[in-house]
Amino acid sequence: MRFLATTALTLTASLGAGAAWAQEGEVTILRVQPGDEEEAFYAEVEQAYEAEHPDVDIVFEYIANEAYKSKLPTLLQSDARPDLFYSWGGEALREQAEAGFVRMIDDLVPEDVRATFPQSALDAFTVDGALYGLPLYATEVVFWVNTDLTEEGGVDHTAIETWDDFLQAVQTLKDAGVTPIVAGGQDKWPLHFYWSYLALREGGPDVVTSAMSGDGGGFENEAFVAAGEDLKELAALEPFQPGVMGTTYETSSGMFADGEGAFYLMGDWDYLPMRGRASDGEGLSDEQLAIMSFPTISDPVAEGGAGATLGGINGWAVSRDASDTAVDFLTFMLNRENQETIAERGIFIPIVEGADEALTNAFFQRVASDISGSDYHQIFLDQFLGASVGATVNDVSADLVADATTPEEAAARVQEAWDFR
């Protein structure tokens, strides 16, 4: 397989000498606020592209996570829409395609550029056979572990294999006066990781897609109810920091990095940002950190879910009015040379095939191995199921933790949202 270090030039050639240059101008890119290291990388890519294309002005804009999710739908319907925007793919992208908010780019991405991406990653940005964007990286949601606190509390995290093991570890930590878990309950989506993972573990890797098809009772399937029961069992132990439901994701990230809890269920993407949010700007050292896969279920509703991972295949979607130049820049930003830089600096795990060989961070190497070896990689449910259903998943997850709903009601609410989406 041949990888391209100068895909921008290749794409320009494929379009013809005049076609790409005729649409030069400003290219606006909107992204959820990244860590400082990733933002600095984008500045470098911007400068490199502009040096080759002096008539192009690349403009990156960043918005905090929750504000991004609320503002993006409005922006896509306005004249202020960005050319490229950060996307989690899945049903949300399908909704955007059906609404006419995104541009099909099949004819603008050469086959040799496509060949640098795993097909499963391209599928995340494909709707009905048409490509509307390109993947940036794959992520896995894992338990980050503060090994100083687990040791202090008498817990060996490497011995935790099942959900029962985890519940026992939580109780052991509480008995030792250690806060077991830090979470950002106010934003709700960090809690949906629990319900989603438990559903996969209880129902097997096909439980979500089967529910979407209406099989086996849909989202009222026994596995989703069992997931709610498992989550309520955890919540009953009061494992989270005080005020969990009033804590944002960003705050919880900094709290974990400040050593205020033993476990933190979050994606690998938070490795650098959490440290930037620590009160000293440094947070926990690598020697104080470990990662742990989400536990299995001893007696699941259905077999096969133990090897599934939960995370994302995140990337960039192309808005409907974006120029050919915007797509040209996108392929340049995602070429192997740039992705290897990302890997070497430990910013995230690149999706371009082969670029992960440049990873030096042991945590990212572990995550890359987890994803490649998983039986099934499930995209975050709050994105995979579309905006309205995803919001309901987040709501019921938070309500289960807050003891404001029952497992049966939670499953029924998700099914109702799916029926009326």
Summarised one tens digit per residue, pLDDT across range 343-362 is 999 898 888 888 888 999 99
Q: How many C-beta neighbours within 10 Å does residue 398 have? A: 23
Domain range summary for the chain, segments of one domain joined by + = 13-139+312-372, 140-310+380-419
Summarised one tens digit per residue, pLDDT across range 318-342 is 999 999 999 999 999 999 999 999 9
**What's the rounded Cα separation, in Å, for the pair 196 and 213?**
17
Name the 3-class secondary structure at 138.
strand
What is the average pLDDT score of the chain? 92
| 177 exposure class (CB count in 10 Å sphere: 0-12, 13-18, 19+) | exposed
**What's the rounded Cα separation, in Å, for the pair 185 and 238?**
13
Is the whole model's pTM more than 0.85, yes or no? no
Q: Are strands 26-32 and 126-127 parallel, antiparallel or unpaired?
A: unpaired
Are 13-139+312-372 and 140-310+380-419 equal in CATH topology? yes
DSSP E strand stretches across 220-307: 263-267, 289-292
CA 377 to chain centre: 11
**What's the rounded Cα separation, in Å, for the pair 399 and 55?**
52
- Report the DSSP beta bridge partners of residue 87: 315
**What's the rounded Cα separation, in Å, for the pair 288 and 307?**
27
- Do residues 384 and 208 touch, judged by C-beta distance below 8 A? yes
- Report the DSSP beta bridge partners of residue 58: 27
Rounded mean pLDDT, 373-398: 93
> Which stretches within 16-146 are classed as H helix?
17-21, 36-52, 65-76, 90-98, 111-114, 119-123
| Fold that domain 13-139+312-372 belongs to in CATH | D-Maltodextrin-Binding Protein; domain 2 (3.40.190)
Q: CATH 3.50.50.60: does it fit domain 140-310+380-419?
A: no
Count of all residues that appear for the chain in the document: 421
Is the predicted pLDDT of residue 15 greater than 60, yes or no? no
